[in-house]
Structure 1
Amino acid sequence: MTRLILSLLALLLFSLPAWAAAPRTFLYMPADALERHDAVLRRPEVEGVQLVYSWKSLEPARGQYDFGAIDAALARLEPLGKKLVIQVQDRFFTPKARHLPDYLLTDPAYGGGLVAQVDRPGQGKPVAQGWVAAQWNPALRARYQALLAALAARFDGRVLAITLPETAADIDPRQPNAGFSCDAYVDATLDNLAAARRAFTRSRVVQYVNFWPCEWGDDHHYMSRLFAFAAANGVGLGGPDIVPGRKAQMANAYPFFNRYKGRLPLVAMAVQEPTLTYTDPKTGKPFTKDAVVEYAERYLGVDIIFWTPAAPWLRP
C-alpha cells in the first residue's frame, strides 16, 4: 500500500502543469551591461539573462547585420551554463533614443521610421517623449521581419527565446503619424509575431503584452484576440511589469494571463527598474520579492521572471 501511495504521488507530481512550478529566475538588462553584472549572473539561482538589443545595433545599414554582441553574450554565458533570451527593441523611452537604422529614418518609404510617444514609467508622472517604430507601415514592417529571419538563421535553438517588445504605445496625437490607426497597430503586431514564430522553430517566441492603444478592458477585443492567437500558434506571452493586483493591469492583460494558465508554452514577465517604484497598498512599502513571486506564480502563471539587477534582493 505504501508503495502504491508513493507511486500515485510521483505520478501527480510529474503531471502538474508547467505553471504550477515556481518561476525560474533570470536577469534583465541592456545588452552592454552583461559584464558589469557578472557577479550577480554567477549566482546559482540565476538561470540566465534577457538582453535588450536595439534594432540599429543589429542592423547598422540596410540588410547588413551585426550579431557580434549576441555571439559575445553566448560565449560568456554558455560556459556558465546560463541561458540567453534576446529582445529586439523597436521603441525607446527618451527623446534622444532613436535607435533605428538610419535608412529607416531618412527614406520616405518608411514614413519617418519613428513616431513620438509619451512614456509613463512606474508610478511617476508622464515624462518626455520617446519613440515607437511605425510598424503599421508595410515597408518598415518587412524590414523588421527580415531582421527576425536573419536572427533565426543564426540563433534558432541557441537562444532560449526571443521576446518582442510590449504592446503599449502612447502615441502623441500632436505628431505626424501617417497611416496609424489602432487596428493597423494591432494587425502589425500580430503580423510580426506570426513572422517570428515562422522563423524560430526551436527557440521560444514571446510577445510582451500589457496595454493596447485605444483599448481598455478588451472593449475592442484586441487583448482576447492576441491571447487566442498565442494559444493556437504555440507562442509565449509576457510583459514588462509584475505589479500584484494593480488596477490598470487588472483591466487589461492580467486576467487573460490567469485565464490562460497552462495553455501557453511560456509565460515570461519582468520586474524592471520602474516596477520597483510601485508600493504594496497593504503595507505602504515596495512589494517584497515574496509577494511578487507568489502573485506571478499563483495568479499569472509565470514560468520565468526577468529581474533587474537593481532589485533589492539581488544587491551585494
Structure 2
Amino acid sequence: MSRRARVGRFTVSAVILAVGCLLASTTSSATATATATAAGSAVKWHPGHYITSDWWHNAGTPASMASSELQVVNTSPNLRGWKGNYYWAALETGKGVYDFSVIDAELARLNQGNPVPRKKLIIGLSSSGFLRTHDQDPGGFLNAVLPSYLTTDTTYGSAPKAGTNGWWYGGSGFAITAAVWRQAVTDRVIALLQALGARYNSNPDVEGVVLTETASQVGEGGGYNDNTLLSQLERTLTAATAAFPNTNVVIENNFLGNQPNTSALVLFQNSHRVAESGPDLLGKTAADKTSPPKELTWGQQCVTGYPGTGCANLTGSIAVIQNVDEPELLGTQFQGAGAPFTPLDIYHNGEDYLHASHLMWTYLVGRPTNNWPTIAAMVDTHPIRYTACPTSYPGCDTR
C-alpha cells in the first residue's frame, strides 16, 4: 500500500518566521565532500542513489522478503544503498522489548558478494500507516503499525475506536497515527530511537534513520493541536540526534498542519543538523510552471526560500535526503501537475531545486509505468551532483 494521503493544499501564509533564517547557505558545490577533522563529531556521509522498498515491515515480515531488492543493490555499481521501511510494531514487540533481528539480517545480506564501495542502509521508521478510505476501521492493521501495548494501555490516551488507545486518524482521515502530540506517546518513540541508536549508530553501514511523514501525523481529534505536535516533534528530533550522533537523522516534513509550523520545523532541523525529506518529489516540469516553484511541499518550499515561507534559501546548509514514491512515478496522484513524471524529470527537480544529496527511488516491479529498469537506466547515467557536506553539520565522515 502506498503510505501517503495527499493533504489539502492550503493558502501559503504570509507570516514571516525570522528565527533561523540567517542560517541559510547558498553553497552549491556539485562534487566536493568534506571529512570532519574530529572523527567523534562527524556524521556518516555517503550521497548517491538508493532503492527504497515499496512495502513496509510489520511484526511478521521476514527479512527474506527484501532479498531481491538487496541483490539489485549489491550488483548495481551506481546504487549507494537501500532504505528499508519498518512500522513501529515491527521493532518493539512489547513495552521496552525490542527485536531488531530483521534489520540485522538485512544488514548481513546487504553487502553479500563484497561490493566496492560497501552499500549503506537507511532505516525508515513509521508511527503511522495509510488507509484506503477515510476514517476506515483499522482492524488488524492497527497492530501491524503500532505496538499492541500502546493501543491497549489507557496511559496513552483515548482513540476513536472503542477499546483502543494511543492513536487517532491523521492525514486528512486517510491515516492512522500514533498520537505523538501526547507526551507519553512521544516518550515511547524516543525510547525506540534510543534503542536503535545504541545498536546502530556505530555501524559504518547504517547511513541514516528517517522519521514519519508529518502530514500523516496531523490529527483530526483526540486533543490534537498543531503547536503541540510541533513541540513534540522537536523533542523527538533532539533525542534522535543525541541517540545517533554520527548518523543522519531525517524527517519527512512535508505538511505540518500549516506553513508557519512546517517552516518552523525546517528551521529547527537546520539548526539541529536534521535532514529534510518527504514521500513525494514531483518532476521539474511541474516545479517550473511558476517561478519560484509552487509545486513543492511546504517543507521543500522553505528549503528553497520560497516567498512567504519565512525561510531564506537553505540549500547547501540543510541536508536533503529525499524519497521518491509511487504516485509521482505511476501517475496515481498529481495528474494535474503532469504525473506520471519520468525519472529524469524527478531527478532534475531534486538536484536543481533542492540540491538533494540522497535520492531514494521506490523499487517498482510489475507495474505499467516506470518499472525499475527505467529508473535504473536513468540512475546509471545521472549521478548525484550535490555531495558536499552540509554546512549545518559538524563534519562528514566519508570513509
TM-score range, shorter chain: 0.7 to 0.9
Match for residue 91 of structure 1 among 116, 123, 128:
128
CA contact (8 A) 1:58 1:67 kept: yes
Q: CA deviation at 1:248?
A: 6.5
TM-score between both structures, scaled by the size of structure 1: 0.81
Q: How far apart, CA to CA, are the structure 1 residues paired with 2:182 and 2:262?
A: 22
**Deviation per residue, 1:275-302 (Å, 9 max, x gap):** 22156879x5621111111111010111
Match for residue 261 of structure 1 among 290, 297, 315:
315
DSSP 3-state at the match of 1:297: helix
In the alignment, what sits opposite 1:229?
Answer: 268
- Cα RMSD of the aligned pairs, angstroms, is 2.6
Q: CA deviation at 1:313?
A: 5.5
In the alignment, what sits opposite 1:201?
Answer: 245
In the alignment, what sits opposite 2:102?
Answer: 69
DSSP 3-state at the match of 1:250: coil
Identity of paired residues, percent? 30
Q: How far apart, CA to CA, are the structure 2 residues paired with 1:57 and 1:204?
A: 21
Match for residue 79 of structure 2 among 46, 55, 62:
46
Q: How far apart, CA to CA, are the structure 2 residues paired with 1:67 and 1:208?
A: 22
Q: How far apart, CA to CA, are the structure 2 residues paired with 1:63 and 1:279?
A: 40
Change over 3 Å in CA distance of 1:104–1:260 after alignment to 2 = same
Change over 3 Å in CA distance of 1:226–1:39 after alignment to 2 = same
In the alignment, what sits opposite 1:179?
Answer: 223
Q: How far apart, CA to CA, are the structure 2 residues paired with 1:185 and 1:26?
A: 30
Change over 3 Å in CA distance of 1:170–1:76 after alignment to 2 = closer
In the alignment, what sits opposite 1:24?
Answer: 48
Match for residue 183 of structure 2 among 135, 138, 141:
138
Q: How far apart, CA to CA, are the structure 1 residues paired with 2:282 and 2:29?
A: 18
Match for residue 292 of structure 1 among 343, 346, 359:
346
Aligned AA (2:180) = Q
In the alignment, what sits opposite 2:119?
Answer: 82
Aligned AA (2:373) = R
Q: CA deviation at 1:17?
A: 4.6
CA contact (8 A) 1:261 1:301 kept: yes
Q: How far apart, CA to CA, are the structure 2 residues paired with 1:239 and 1:56?
A: 22
CA contact (8 A) 1:25 1:306 kept: yes
Match for residue 66 of structure 2 among 30, 34, 37:
34
Is it true that 1:161 corresponds to 2:204 in the alignment?
A: no
Change over 3 Å in CA distance of 1:255–1:20 after alignment to 2 = farther
Give the helix-richer structure, 1 or 2: 1
Aligned AA (1:106) = T
* Greater relative contact order, per chain length (Cα 8 Å cut-off, separation 6+): 2
DSSP 3-state at the match of 1:212: coil
Match for residue 355 of structure 2 among 291, 301, 304:
301
Change over 3 Å in CA distance of 1:44–1:59 after alignment to 2 = same
Question: Which deviates the most, 182-191 or 59-68?
Answer: 182-191
Aligned AA (2:183) = P
TM-score between both structures, scaled by the size of structure 2: 0.65
Change over 3 Å in CA distance of 1:134–1:249 after alignment to 2 = farther
Q: How far apart, CA to CA, are the structure 1 residues paired with 2:78 and 2:362?
A: 14
Q: CA deviation at 1:100?
A: 1.0
Q: CA deviation at 1:178?
A: 2.7
DSSP 3-state at the match of 1:92: strand
Q: How far apart, CA to CA, are the structure 1 residues paired with 2:244 and 2:79?
A: 25
CA contact (8 A) 2:263 2:302 kept: yes
- In the alignment of these two chains, the number of paired residues is 283
CA contact (8 A) 1:257 1:301 kept: no
